[in-house]
C-alpha cells in the first residue's frame, strides 16, 4: 500500500515527545479505532492473505488499533496503535527494492493448492504486523527485536518500513528481500521523511555488530550483500538506499517529489529547491532520510503536510499551471486513516487520528490507555452513515474536492477549530489525570473530545453540502428560493 511516514525525535518536537506518524493509504477501507484488552489477543494467529499460522505468547498487553471494519477478504490491517507500556507502532510504509535483492532473497509468497501441489503459506505482511508485535513489547527497541525474529523465521511477502516509539527513542525498521532487515534509531534532534522508497541512507555496521546503540541488522547481512554483489558504494561510506532500494522513473513521479516537498516545508532555508543550481528537486534520489528541522515540529504541522498536495508550487492539482497534478500528492482521497502516535514524558500517551480523506479531514487526539473508545470512532459498519467518523470524513472530503474553490475555506476552519478545542481538552484532562491517575478520567476526556469532533464535523458537512447544492446545474435564481 502507498503511504507517507514522518518521524520526529524528542529534541525536534514541540514538547519533548517522540512522534511517529503515517498516512495509511489503502483501497478506501473503512477504518475504526478499537482497544484490545490485556490477554485478549489470540493464542494462534492465521493470516487471511498469506495463510501463515503463528503461535503467539500466552500473554498480551492492552493496545489500541485501527483495523478494517470488513475483514473477511483482507484481514485486520490494524495500521497503528499504542500499548499499555506507552510504546507506539505504525505499520507499514511500503518501500522499494531492486532485482539483485529480490533475486538473492525472494519474497515468501502464498501459493494456492493445485493439481499434485499442496497449498503453501506465505510470509507475514502489513495485514499482520501490528497484531503480531505491539501486544508483546515494552520498548521501541523490543519492537525491532521481535519483528526481526518474526521476519527471519516466517519471511515476508512484501517490502515494508515501520516505526516504533517510546518516551525515550524512535526506531525505524526496513525489510530487505524475504528474510533480512536493517533498523536504525532516529537521532533525537532529527526528523525523518519516508515516501514509499527504501529510506536509510547511511548505516554503521560496527555498531550493528557491536553495541547496537543506534543500528541493528540481520546477523548474516554482510554475507548476503557480498554473495549477491549488492554493494554499489564507492569509498568507505555505506548507503543502504543505494544497495537495497531503487532509482526508477516511477520513483520520480510517485516518491521523490513527496520527499522534496516535505524537506522544503521543514527546512526551507537549509537548501535550494528550484532552479539550475538546486540542491534537491522533485527528481532527486539523494534527498536525506533524516535532517534537523529549522524549528520544533508540532502535531498540526504533521497533519498539514500529511494532507498536503504541493500547495504553493506549480504541481498543485487544484492549480492551473501546466504541470499541475504532475506528481502523486501526499494527501490522497484513499487515506483510510492517518495515525500520529505521540508518546509524552510524564503524561499519558496520545494518539491523533484523521480518517478517510487526507487534505480535508480533521485530526483529533484520544488517550490510549483506556478500556474502550467512543462509539463514533469505534463502532460502525460498512454502510455510509453520519454516525461514523470515517464516513463523515469521506463525505466532507469528497464534497470539498468537487467544489474546492468555494468549500476549502470551511474545511480549513474545521481543522483549526478541532485542533484548538482538542488542545483545550488535553490541557484540562492532563491536569485532572495528574491529580487523579485513573482510566475513567481518560475515558471521560475521550468522550468529550469525540463529542466535539462530531459536532464540528456536522457543522462542516452542512456548510460544504450547501456549497454543493447551490452549485448544481439545475439551480435557478428567479426568486425560487
Q: Which three cell numbers stand for residue 15?
A: 514538547
Residue 3 known to be catalytic: yes
Tell the burial category of 438 from Cβ atoms under 10 Å away from its Cβ (0-12, 13-18, 19+). exposed
Q: Which three cell numbers stand for residue 60?
A: 498480551
Nearest to 69 by CA among 26, 38, 121, 40: 26
Residue 350 bridge partners (DSSP): 342, 367
Find the catalytic residue in 3, 217, 338, 363: 3
Q: Which three cell numbers stand for residue 215?
A: 543500528
CA-atom Rg of the chain in angstroms: 22
Tell the burial category of 81 from Cβ atoms under 10 Å away from its Cβ (0-12, 13-18, 19+). buried
Cβ-Cβ contacts under 8 Å for 66 (sequence gap 6 or more): 24, 31, 32, 33, 34, 78, 79, 80, 81, 337, 339, 353
Alpha helices (H) in 310-403, listed in sequence order: 375-378, 389-402
Nearest to 136 by CA among 96, 84, 201: 84
Q: Which three cell numbers stand for residue 80?
A: 497503528
Q: Which residues participate in catalysis according to the annotation?
A: 3
Amino acid at each position: 500500500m502507498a503511504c507517507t511516514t514522518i518521524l520526529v525525535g524528542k529534541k525536534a518536537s514541540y514538547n519533548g515527545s517522540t512522534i511517529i506518524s503515517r498516512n495509511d493509504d489503502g483501497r478506501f477501507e473503512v477504518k475504526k479505532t478499537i482497544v484490545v484488552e490485556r490477554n485478549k489477543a489470540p493464542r494462534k494467529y492465521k493470516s487471511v492473505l498469506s495463510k501463515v499460522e503463528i503461535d503467539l505468547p500466552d500473554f498480551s498487553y492492552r493496545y489500541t488499533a485501527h483495523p478494517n471494519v470488513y475483514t473477511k477478504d483482507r484481514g485486520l490491517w490494524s495500521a497503528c496503535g499504542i500499548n499499555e507500556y506507552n510504546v507506539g507502532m505504525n505499520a507499514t510504509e511500503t518501500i522499494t527494492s531492486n532485482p539483485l535483492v529480490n533475486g538473492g532473497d525472494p519474497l515468501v509468497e502464498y501459493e494456492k493448492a493445485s493439481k499434485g501441489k499442496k497449498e503453501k503459506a506465505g510470509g507475514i505482511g502489513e495485514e499482520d504486523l501490528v497484531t503480531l508485535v505491539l501486544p508483546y513489547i515494552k520498548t521501541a527497541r523490543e519492537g525491532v527485536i521481535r519483528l526481526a525474529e518474526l521476519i527471519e523465521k516466517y519471511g515476508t511477502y512484501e517490502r515494508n518500513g515501520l516505526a516504533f516509539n517510546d518516551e525515550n527513542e524512535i526506531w525505524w525498521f526496513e525489510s530487505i528481500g524475504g528474510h533480512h532487515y536493517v533498523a536504525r534509531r532516529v537521532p533525537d534532534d532529527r526528523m525523518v521523511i519516508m515516501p514509499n522508497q527504501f529510506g536509510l541512507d547511511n548505516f554503521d555496521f560496527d555498531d550493528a555488530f557491536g553495541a547496537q546503540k543506534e543500528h541493528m541488522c540481520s546477523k548474516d547481512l554482510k554475507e548476503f550483500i557480498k554473495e549477491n554483489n549488492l554493494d554499489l558504494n564507492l569509498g568507505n561510506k555505506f548507503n543502504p538506499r543505494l544497495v537495497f532500494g531503487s532509482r526508477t522513473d516511477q520513483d520520480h513521479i510517485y516518491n521523490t517529489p513527496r520527499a522534496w516537498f516535505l524537506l522544503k516545508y521543514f527546512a526551507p532555508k537549509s537548501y535550494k529547491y528550484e532552479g539550475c543550481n538546486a540542491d534537491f528537486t522533485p527528481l532527486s534520489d539523494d534527498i536525506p532520510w533524516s535532517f534537523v528541522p529549522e524549528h520544533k515540529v508540532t502535531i498540526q504541522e504533521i497533519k498539514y503536510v500529511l494532507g498536503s498536495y504541493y500547495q504553493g508550487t506549480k504541481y498543485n492539482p487544484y492549480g492551473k499551471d501546466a504541470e499541475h497534478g504532475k506528481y502523486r500528492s501526499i494527501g490522497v482521497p484513499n487515506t483510510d486513516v492517518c495515525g500520529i502516535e505521540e508518546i509524552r514524558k510524564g503524561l499519558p500517551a496520545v494518539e491523533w487520528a484523521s480518517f478517510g480523506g487526507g487534505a480535508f479531514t480533521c485530526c483529533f487526539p484520544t488517550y490510549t490507555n483506556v478500556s474502550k473508545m467512543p462509539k463514533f470512532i469505534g463502532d460502525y459498519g460498512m454502510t455510509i452513515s453520519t454516525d461514523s467518523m470515517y464516513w463523515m470524513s469521506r463525505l466532507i472530503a469528497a464534497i470539498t474536492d468537487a467544489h474546492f474553490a468555494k468549500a476549502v475555506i470551511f474545511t480549513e476552519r474545521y481543522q483549526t477549530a478541532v485542533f484548538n478545542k482538542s488542545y483545550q481538552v488535553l490541557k484540562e484532562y492532563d491536569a485532572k489525570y495528574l491529580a487523579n491517575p485513573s482510566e475513567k478520567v481518560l475515558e471521560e476526556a475521550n468522550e468529550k473530545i469525540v463529542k466535539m469532533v462530531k459536532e464540528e464535523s456536522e457543522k462542516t458537512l452542512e456548510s460544504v453540502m450547501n456549497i454543493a447544492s447551490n452549485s448544481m446545474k439545475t439551480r435557478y435564481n428567479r426568486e425560487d428560493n
